[in-house]
Amino acid sequence: MTTRSGETGHRTAASLRVLLTGGRAPVTLDLARMLHRAGHRVYVAESAVRHLTRSSSAVEQCAVVPSPRHNTRAYLEELERLAQDWQIDLLIPMCEEVFYVAQGADRLRAYCRVLVTTLEQLHELHHKYDFIQLAGSLGLSVPDTRLINSRQEWTEAQSVLGEAGDWVWKPVYSRFAAKVRMPTRLIDDAGAGTEQEGYTSKKKHRQLRNDPPEEGELSSASPWVAQAFIPGRMLCTYSIAHEGQLVAHATYDSRYRTGSVGASVFFEQVEHEGALAWVRQFVLATGFSGQIGFDFIEGQDGQVYAIECNPRATSGIHLFHPGDDLVRALTEPETLVKEGRMITPARGSKAMLMLPMLGSGLQQIFGKGKFQAWAAAWRGARDVVYMRQDIQPLFEQFAVVLTAWRLARSQKSSLTEALTHDIEWNGEQH
C-alpha cells in the first residue's frame, strides 16, 4: 500500500531525541523542521561553525564537532559524548559524514539507534565503478562503465573508446558532478530539461578538452570511470529502506542546477514506475537499510539506467513536506513494513533553493522560451530554507555561502567543493 505524504490518521511514535549530523545541508534543515513538527526533540552535530540549522527554532541544541574527514577519531568520540549527554534515541547522518559515522556505529549503538548500514556496503554503493558492477550483477540496467587506474590507461581508453560514441569521465569518488569530463557537451533546444552529468540531447554539441587528470588525481587508490553516454532525461530518487523493504520513495526531476553540471536547485515530483521498480529490486537484493538515492537516465527507449548511487539523504526529502509520514519512515520503519505501507510525496510536489534558483533564472533570460519555462517551474515551488515561523536560517544562508566562498578562494577550489571539504569521503580507512 502506498500512502501520500501529508495524509493523516496514523499513529505517531512517542517523542524521541534525534541527533542529526550535517547541519549545513538544506535537507537537514528541512528534516529538522519535520521532526520538530512531529513532536520530536532535534539536536545537531556539525563541524562547520556557520550552518543552516544553527539558528533554527526547530533545533534544541547544536554542537560544533571536529571534522569527520580530518579528525575522525575525535569526531566519533564527540558523537558518543553528545549521544550520552543529550540522551539521544536516534542518530541520523545526513551527508557524506555517514561513512565516518559507519566506522563508529558499533560504539554509538551502545547509546542509541543509528540509521546507517555497514561501511563495506556504503563503500560499494559510493564507488562509481563497484556500484555499476553490483547493479549489473543483479540484472538491473546500467550503462557500460570502464575503470581507469592510471594516466596510461586513460590514454589507451581514449583511443579505444573515442571510436565508440560519447563517454562521460569522472572520479569514482566525487559529488555534485565535480571534476566530471565530457567529450561532448550536449545542449537541448529548450535550454532547460534534464541531463546526464549535464547532458540532454545530441542536437547541439561542442568538444571539450579531455586531457588526463593532473598527477595525484588519478591512481589505483583514486581511480576514474569512463561511462557510456545515454541520451535521455535525468531522474533522481530518494528512498528510505528497512532490511530490504522500501518504506518511503520519491522520484524527481531536477532541471535547474548550479552551473551546467552542478548540484540541483529545483525538485519536482515525478510518477515513474520504472525507477520505482529498479530501486525496489536493488534494495531487496542488497537488504539495504537507511537512506539512499540514485541518479537515472531514462533512455529514448523508455528504459531507466542507473548511473550512480548516493547512500545518504538527497534532495528528494524536500518533496515530502510537511513530512509527518516521512518522519515515521525514519523513526519507526519496522511498523510501516508490518503495515505494508510505502510513503510517497503528494502529487505535483515542487521545491527549490531560492537563491541559486534565482541565479539559474538569470542564465535563462536570453534563451528563446527558456525564461518562461523557468518562471513556470518557479511558480508554486516551495523555498526549502524560508519558513515564516523559523526565519533565521534564511539569513544564515548568506553567512554560510560567504564562508564557503572565502574558503574556495583560499583553496582554489569550487564553491561546492569548499562546502564539503571537511566531510567528504574518498575511500579512506582510519
Domain boundaries defined on the chain: 15-116+391-430
Each residue of 316-339: b (16+ CB within 10 Å) or e?
bbbbbbebbbbbbbbbbbebbbee
Residue 10's pLDDT is 40
Residue 176's pLDDT is 67
The three cell numbers locating residue 299: 533512455
Q: Parallel, antiparallel, or unpaired: how do β-strands 290-299 and 232-242 relate?
A: antiparallel
CATH superfamily of 15-116+391-430: NAD(P)-binding Rossmann-like Domain (3.40.50.720)
Describe the crossing of helices 119-126 and 128-137 by its angle, rounded to 10 degrees.
100
Residue 162's pLDDT is 65
Beta strand residue intervals within 6-83, DSSP E: 17-21, 41-46, 59-64
Residue 175's pLDDT is 74
pLDDT in tens, the chain (430 residues): 766 665 543 434 589 999 999 999 999 999 999 999 999 999 999 999 889 999 999 999 999 999 999 999 999 999 999 999 999 999 999 999 999 999 999 999 999 999 999 999 999 999 999 999 999 999 999 999 999 998 888 888 887 776 556 888 899 998 766 677 775 444 343 333 334 444 433 433 333 446 777 777 888 888 999 999 999 999 999 999 999 999 999 999 878 877 656 678 999 999 999 999 999 999 999 999 999 999 999 999 899 999 999 999 999 999 999 999 999 999 999 999 999 999 999 999 999 999 888 887 777 666 667 888 888 888 889 999 999 999 999 999 888 888 878 887 887 777 777 777 788 888 776 4
Contact present, 36 and 323 (Cβ < 8 Å): no
Per DSSP, what are the bridge partners of residue 352?
Answer: 266, 383
Q: 587528470: which residue's cell? A: 213
On the 0-12 / 13-18 / 19+ scale of CB atoms within 10 A, 355 is middle
Contact present, 243 and 223 (Cβ < 8 Å): no
User: Rg of the chain over CA atoms, in angstroms?
Assistant: 21
> What's this model's pTM, rounded to 2 decimal places?
0.89
The span from the CA of 124 to the CA of 122, in Å, is: 6
The span from the CA of 349 to the CA of 345, in Å, is: 7
The span from the CA of 71 to the CA of 27, in Å, is: 24
Residue 185's pLDDT is 45
Residue 384's pLDDT is 96
On the 0-12 / 13-18 / 19+ scale of CB atoms within 10 A, 244 is middle
Within 13 Å and on the Cβ side, how many CA atoms surround 280?
Answer: 13
The span from the CA of 5 to the CA of 178, in Å, is: 33
Cis peptide before 223 (omega within 30 of 0): no
Residue 189's pLDDT is 32
